[in-house]
Amino acid sequence: MIQCKDCEYYEAAADGRRTFKCDPFNNIKEPECLAKWQLLRLDMLISGYRTMLSWYESMGPMQQKIFKYVERELDDIDEADKWKLEEEEDDDENDITNDPEDYV
């Protein structure tokens, strides 16, 4: 099995960063290269997920504030419209029953 550091599709930068120019659809040399490539992609996905998760955690307190604000606003709207509902309930209580015999 060829090591990545010995492969022609591998480059190491002076700052220690490694670059893999192998493409699993075009130029993989050995079957093990595909497994390594899959591990690298999985590691990149996990790194992206962790970054997204930390961003969501930092947004949590702000979301809680927004939820409380919206809840307060909705309660204020309900309180402001409460007089309309009370008037409708009073009208319903004063109506004559809808007995069909009353209309005959």
pLDDT attached to residue 53: 95
Give residue 67's domain range.
Answer: 4-94
Q: Report yes or no on 71 lying in a domain.
A: yes
User: Does residue 101 form part of some domain?
Assistant: no
Does residue 103 lie within any of the structural domains?
Answer: no
Whether 60 is covered by a domain: the verdict is: yes
For residue 49, name the pLDDT band (cuts at 50, 70, 90).
very high
Contact 28, 44 (CB under 8 A): no
Place of tokens 């190491």: 12
pLDDT at 29: 82
Phi/psi at 11 (5° precision):
-135, 140
Spatial distance between the Cα atoms of 47 and 72, rounded to a whole number of angstroms: 38
For 57-77, what is each residue's pLDDT tens digit? 999 999 999 999 999 999 999
Q: How many domains does the chain have?
A: 1
Domain assignment of residue 83, yes or no: yes
Distances (CA, A) of 92 to 75, 82, 86: 25, 16, 10
Sign of CA dihedral 80, 81, 87, 89: negative
Q: Are 8 and 37 in contact (CB under 8 A)?
A: no
What percent of the chain clears pLDDT 90, i.e. is strictly above it? 35
Q: Model confidence over 7-47: pLDDT tens digits?
A: 888 899 889 888 888 888 888 888 888 888 889 899 999 99
99 occurs within a structural domain: no
Residue for token digits 């490539």? 37
